[in-house]
Chains A and B, each alone.
Chain A
């Protein structure tokens, strides 16, 4: 049954799990910027070169993209009724989010190498 449909519970669970991570990570980052903010470009580079920092920020980008996907999908399912425009918008949003993910991956990886 659920194979034929857009997911219901999976999307809901995914949105909640990512919300928890986003809340924790944003709280941590606010503390980070208040107490030990990087002051120079070299500081930033050193910080992002640490595996746990780059993993955590990539997980943050991943979480925010999945979270946004479920949220925007919900809005489109509510407000865009005709099949054509709905599918077009879903594809555009999906591609846009994938592009954002690829871009953030590229930024973080290139910062680590440089």
Chain B
């Protein structure tokens, strides 16, 4: 199986280039992550992040034949040859397929992804009804792999100002939480042309999410909530 993999070592290379690889032994049901590990045995200088190998940690996000995804849950038999592997678009490249995600994390922090409560701490847990808990389904499962935000043109053009789909999904996760008491502050923080409303409903985020989540839908919910609290 033929691969073309993005290579760039800033200490040595003047500019990035694509290197050809051939994988001789394709095992049945093989995932791209295993293929990359085998290719790394051919050329040990090939660098990429990976960890859990089952789509839970979100480490091995990359651009696979033009589409962002997790290598560990992408079966290679679904890919057309030569398989072109590139780093996430729109973020600084550290080396080969390894990118600098600090801007992405900074945006995640900016939406305060934690419960904020002003009432005194309860004696026991903060209880929720099953219906209230159901509202968090499709939101809490995000593993912060970055596939969505790095496929979003609005995030490409304004990574320093636009929170991006992953952060906005988490913003809605806490806005929708019956235990959270900071709705007004959260909404205030998202107004203006560069925050919530830089999303133009392109929907690349929902298309690529390896966990099947829908940030565009969450963003729509935030817009509706903001409208409700403004008129």
Contact = CB atoms under 8 A, between A and B. Distances in A.
A8 B196 contact: yes
Given A74-B200, A78-B157, A79-B157, A12 B223 contact: yes
A18 to B, nearest CB: 15
Contacts of B198: 77-78
Interface of B: 153-154, 157-158, 188, 191-198, 200, 223, 226-227, 230
A68 to B, nearest CB: 15
A27 interface: no
Main secondary structure on A side of the interface with B = helix
Interface string A46-89: 00000000000000000000000000011001110000000000
Nearest to A78: B157
Nearest to B154: A78
A21 to B, nearest CB: 18
Contacts of A110: none
Nearest to A71: B200
Given A77-B193, A78-B154, A9 B188 contact: no
B193 A11 contact: yes
A105 to B, nearest CB: 28
B227 A5 contact: no
A9 B191 contact: yes
Interface in A1-57: 1-2, 5-9, 11-13
B47 to A, nearest CB: 31
B193 A8 contact: yes
A11 B197 contact: yes
A101 B192 CA distance: 27
B158 A6 contact: no
A12 B192 contact: no
Main secondary structure on B side of the interface with A = helix
Q: Which 10 A-B pairs have the closest CB atoms?
A: A8-B197, A8-B192, A5-B192, A6-B193, A78-B157, A8-B193, A12-B197, A8-B191, A2-B191, A9-B226
17 contacts: A1-B188, A1-B192, A2-B192, A6-B193, A7-B192, A7-B193, A8-B193, A8-B196, A9-B191, A9-B227, A11-B193, A11-B197, A12-B223, A77-B194, A77-B198, A78-B158, A78-B198
Contacts of B200: 74
Interface of A: 1-2, 5-9, 11-13, 73-74, 77-79
A98 to B, nearest CB: 21
B224 to A, nearest CB: 11
A89 to B, nearest CB: 15
A11 B158 CA distance: 19
A85 to B, nearest CB: 15
Contact of B197 (A1, A9, A78): A9
Contacts of B153: 78
Contacts of B154: 78
Nearest to B187: A9
Question: Which of B157, B188, B191, B197 is the most central at the interface, judged by chain A CB atoms within 10 Å of its CB?
Answer: B197
A8 B188 CA distance: 11
A56 B230 CA distance: 28
